[in-house]
Amino acid sequence: MDKLRALQYFLAAAKTGSLNAAARDMDVSVPAISRSISTLEKSLGIVLLERSPHGLSLTAVGTNYLQTCKPLVEQLIKADDAVKGSADRPCGTLVIGAPPTLSQHCIAPALPLFHDLYPEIEIDLRSVDKPTAEHANEAEILALLGWPNQPNMVHRHLAYSRMLICASPHYWETHGVPQAPKELANHQCLLFRDQDGTVMDFWEQQQHGIKQSVTVTGWFVSNQRDVLLEAAIAGMGVIRVIDLSVRKPIESGALVPVLLDWESTQAPPIGLFYRPTQRKLLRVQLAIEFMTDLFKKLEAERSPDMAIRVKPEKPHWYRRRHARASATPVVAQVPSPLE
């Protein structure tokens, strides 16, 4: 017996007071309604509906059963609709996982447009740094930085990022502007600790095929990029951040990028991850298209001096983790031109 369907038929019959009317409402035959309700009553060992020439009426126990079952059935139907969506209209809850850097500076500002296009989709944006994070499996799509390897998920490239060396105008005026990456060793740098606990203190840049790397130091370390960003704006030191996360402070003059003729070889690409089965959901299909277009637009808005000319390589410290990136021995690699 299909218990949920039987309960739906019972609720329809109780509401209309007629098997014929219930059959019309549910778009099934009268015998199907009758058999299903009879089977439900038999399984419970009770009579839910009294049949008479004048129609149907609830028994006392049927009334109690109806009051208990009705909200449960409605919740189940709502849950089914949320999961399945609709073939003709996008609806339900879309769960997006992304690190705060992408959520705050790239995705969230674009969500009003997505909502205008698909007002019946509820968006649940969650903080997720990698596919193996605690709540990553609750997300229908993940927008992630770096080179995560997740064989059971579809991976779609969204955009390349560029790492910028920035500080406040006051900081550069006070401490001087470096003319080469190695000079950053003489500056107070604001250091990011990634989701795996590695402090990013090894900064490598490339210019015309020539690399310069430097182990930077500083008194302030945090695993929150926006905290470091605010510290840099306040003049506390030099920060290395992806370009898509600092467009506004650079446009306003709160941060000034330097060494633009040098390019980081380790800038993390941005990728979209989702399970193959999720692609069947209409809201997920629309979200994938929207995110793809969004990051294509963000890439197109780069100014010529911010152009990316070298495809980033996976950092040497990525697989062999230490407390600091500078503690991992360097393996020579030559980045390929951006295709």
Instruction: Give me the pLDDT at residue 322, please.
Output: 78
Q: If you write DSSP's letter for every residue of 184-207 in order, what string do you get?
A: GGGSEEEEEB-TTS-B--EEEEEE
CA dihedral 167, 169, 175, 181 (to 10 degrees): 40
Neighbours of 223 (CB within 10 A): 13
Q: Which two tokens stand for residue 52?
A: 């008479």
Q: What is the pLDDT of residues 213-237, one digit of tens each?
A: 999 999 999 999 999 999 999 999 9
pLDDT for residue 84: 56
Task: Report the predicted TM-score, pTM, of the whole model to 2 decimal places.
Answer: 0.70
Q: What amino acid occupies position 237?
A: G
According to CATH, the topology of domain 163-265+310-327 is D-Maltodextrin-Binding Protein; domain 2 (3.40.190)
The pLDDT tens digits of the residues spanning 285-332 come to: 999 999 999 999 999 999 888 888 877 788 777 767 778 888 877 655
What are the start and end residues of each CATH 3.40.190.10 domain in the chain?
92-160+270-300
Top-confidence residue, 85 or 174: 174
The stretch 26-40 carries a mean pLDDT of 87
Q: Are 160 and 312 in contact (CB under 8 A)?
A: yes
Yes or no: say if 105 and 245 are a contact pair by the CB < 8 Å rule: yes
Is residue 56 within 8 A of residue 18, CB to CB? The reply is yes
3-84 fold: Arc Repressor Mutant, subunit A (1.10.10)
Per mean pLDDT, which range of 2-6, 85-89, 334-338 is the poorest?
A: 334-338
Q: Please tell me the number of Cα atoms within 13 Å of 46 on its side-chain side.
A: 12
pLDDT class of 32 with cuts at 50, 70, 90: confident
Homologous superfamily of 92-160+270-300 = Periplasmic binding protein-like II (3.40.190.10)
Q: For 78-88, what is the mean pLDDT?
A: 59
